[in-house]
Amino acid sequence: MLQENNTGSSPALGGDPLYNERKLVVLNFALQQNGFNADELAAAFSLDAHNARMLMLKYTRQKLFTRHKTKGVFWYYISEKGRDRLRYFANTMPEIFEVLTS
């Protein structure tokens, strides 16, 4: 379900068609966790660990997650903005939201 994008191109430029779907899946995953690290995300969705770390860095910069470093590992928590984004997806893409969050 959560596929890696190896094109390196922007969705605005027609690159990654799964851009919002991937974000939705990660946000939903975060709701089900009491904090998680990138290795857990990578294991849950069969991603390369480096790609999972970069994905979480990007989402943190978008303020969808907060992160705290403990013993050299970043732990991620969904932010209020991340919760708002989930509500936005539920309202604007209800069919996709239902499939990806079930």
Q: What is the tens place of the pLDDT at every residue in 16-42?
A: 557 788 899 999 999 999 999 999 999
Looking at the DSSP bridge assignments, the partners of residue 67 are 76
Q: pLDDT for 46-55, tens place per residue?
A: 999 999 999 9
Q: Is 28 helix (H, G, I), strand (E, B) or coil?
A: helix
Q: Report in angstroms the alpha-carbon separations of 76 from 17, 29, 44, 95, 98.
A: 25, 11, 15, 27, 24
Architecture of the domain made up of 18-101: Orthogonal Bundle (1.10)
Closest by alpha carbon to 48, among 96, 14, 17, 3?
A: 3
d(CA 50, CA 94): 31
pTM of the model: 0.79
